[in-house]
Structure 1
Amino acid sequence: MFFVTPLNRRFAAPAPRVLTGWRFSKLASLVRKSAMSHIVHPYSYRLGIIKDWKSRWFGVKGEYQKMLKGDILIREFLEKSLRGMYVSDIGIERGPKLFRIVIRTSRPGMLIGKSGEGATKLKNQISRFGKKNKLSGIENMKIDIEEVRSPESNAAIVAHMIAEGLEKRLPFRRVMKQTIDKTMANRDVKGVRIYLGGRLGGAEMARTEELKKGCIPLQTLRADIDYARERAHMTYGDIGIKVWIYKGEIFSEKTPKR
C-alpha cells in the first residue's frame, strides 16, 4: 500500500493520504514498469552472462570509432538488402588480416544461390559499399553463411514472419495467434510475447495489441530470452513489431549455442 503526504506549509505533520482503488492500481503499474529489466534491451541486459557480443574485435587507439561505424553501416546495408531472406543476426569478426562476416539465416540456399553465385554477388556488393564509404578491412573480407536449425524459436525470424503476414493484408489477430501457436509447438520454447503498434487493420487511430502465452521472466539473468524488433511496411504507415521468446534457464557458465 502506498501513502502520499501532500505538501502543506500550514501544518507541521499532515496526515498521510491512503491511495486506494484506481489511484493505487495506476501507481503500482508505474512502479512495476520502472523496473530495470523492463527498460533495458533483453540482449544487452545479459551480455557477459549468457549472451556474447555480435561484434568481436579489439580496436587500435584512434581507430575504434571508424571500426564501430563500419560495423553499423554494414549491418544496416545487409538488413536492407537481405530483407525477406529470414536473417536472424549478423556477426562481425576482425583481426590483423581478417574481416569475417557471419550471416545466420533459415534460408541459406536462397542466399548462397546456384554454385555460390549469390554469395559471390553479395560479397561484391559489400566490397563496393565498403569502398564507397571508405571502410577499413574490406579487402580481407570473408563471408560465412550459417543455417538456423530452429527458425520457429528465433525471435528475429518470427518477427519477419509476422511482418510478412501483415504485408499480405492478413488479419493481425490471426497472424499473432497462428505465430504464437507455431512457436509454442517447439519443445525448446517456454513462453512467447508479441506486441504490435500502429494503425492496425488500417484504423484511423493508432493503437497497440499484445498477445502472450507462457512465461517471460525478464528479471532473471540466467533466463534465455530472445528479443527482436521489426517493421511491417503498409500503404497507410508502418506497424511496429516486438517479439520475446523464452527458451528456459541456462545454468552453465558457457554461452548458449546458436
Structure 2
Amino acid sequence: MGQKVNPHGLRIGIIKSWDTQWYADKKTFATYLSEDNKIRKELKKKYFNAAVSKIIIERAANTITVNMFCGRPGVAIGKEAAGISEIKKAVEKIAVGKVVNINVLEVKKVDIDAQLAAESIAASLEKRIQFRRAMRQVMGRAMKGGAKGVKTMVSGRLDGAEIARSEHYSEGSIPLQTLRANIDYGFAQATTT
C-alpha cells in the first residue's frame, strides 16, 4: 500500500523551496531552528486574525528577515504601520541581539491558499458548523477562485461520535503523482469539545 507523503516536502527542490532560507554549522543549527519555530508559533498565535498563510525566515550574518504572507495584511500592519513595529519587537524578544527586518506580504488568491482553507474549516468546526457543509463551502470557494482541483479531509470524532473516523471530499483533478504539479497543502487542528 502506498504511503502518504507531505506534498510540500516531496516537491522541495523541484518546484517548491524551503520556508527557512539560511545555512548554519553544527553548533548554531539547533538554536536557529528552535528560534524559527518560536517565531512562527508566536506570530501565528498573535496575528491569527490577519490570516497568516506562511512565514518565510531568511538569515544572513546578524540579520533576520521575516516574510509574513497574510490574507488580510491590513490587520497585521495596523494603523500607520504600528503593527510592523509590534512584530519586530516580538521577533527581537525571541532572537536576541539580531537585526530584524519584517515584510508583510499579501496572499493574492486567498480562496485558493490551502493553509487558509484548512484554518477556515477548523474555525467552522470550532463554531459547531456541520463538517460536511464547512468542507463543501471551502471547496466551492476554491473552485470558483480558479483551482483546478481540491481535496479536503476531516478526521476525528466527527459530530461528537464515540468512534473517530475520517471523511474526505475531492473535486477536479489532483495529480499527486506528478512532481511538477503545483499542489498546495494545508493542515489545521480544531480544538472542539
TM-score, scaled relative to structure 2: 0.93
Match of 2:185 in 1: 227
- State the AA in 2 paired with 1:158: A
Who is 2:136 aligned against? 177
What CA deviation, in whole Å up to 9, does each residue of 1:163-216 have, x standing for no partner? 1212221111111111111111122x1110000011212223222111110121
Call closer, same or farther: CA 1:65–1:129 in 2, change over 3 Å: closer
Cα shift readout 1:130-159 (whole Å, capped 9, x = no counterpart): 34xxxxxx5301111000010111100111
The match for 2:64 among 79, 95, 99 is 99
Residue of structure 2 aligned with 1:202, choices 155, 160, 180 = 160
Matched residue of 2:49: which SS? coil
Which whole-Å CA distance do the structure 2 matches of 1:67 and 1:128 have between them? Answer: 14
TM-score of the aligned structures, taking structure 1 as reference length: 0.71
Q: 2:127 aligns with which of 162, 165, 168?
A: 168
Partner Cα distance (1:222, 1:115) in 2:
41
Of Structure 1 and Structure 2, the greater strand share is in: 1
Shift in Å, 1:105:
0.5
SS in 2 for 1:176: helix
Match of residue 214 from structure 1: 172
- Indicate the residue corresponding to 1:145 in structure 2: 104
Question: Secondary structure of the equivalent of 1:156?
Answer: helix
Contact 2:73 2:105 in 1 (8 A): yes
Task: Report the AA paired with residue 225 of structure 1.
Answer: I
- Superposed CA RMSD in Å reads 1.5
AA aligned to 2:47 is L
Deviations 1:212-257 (A, max 9, x none): 10121111111100001101121x2xxxxxxxxxxxxxxxxxxxxx
Q: Which runs of 4+ in 1 moved over 4 A?
A: none
The answer to which structure, 1 or 2, has the higher relative contact order (CA under 8 A, 6+ apart) is 2
In 1, Cα distance between the equivalents of 2:19 and 2:107? 16
Letter in 1 for 2:143: M
2:174 corresponds to which letter in structure 1?
I
Q: Which residue of 2 aligns with 1:193?
A: 151
Structure 2: distance between partners of 1:195 and 1:171: 14
Structure 2 Cα separation of the partners of residues 65 and 147 of structure 1: 30
Identity of aligned residues (%): 37
CA contact (8 A) 2:50 2:74 kept: no
- Per-residue CA deviations over 1:80-100 (Å, capped at 9, x if unaligned) read 222232111000001113210
Unaligned runs of at least 5 residues, structure 2: none
Partners of 1:193 and 1:117 lie apart in 2 by 38
Matched residue count: 193
- Higher-helix-fraction structure: 2
Spell out the pairing of 1:1-258 with structure 2 (5 A cutoff): 31=1, 34=2, 38-131=3-96, 138-187=97-146, 189-234=147-192, 236=193
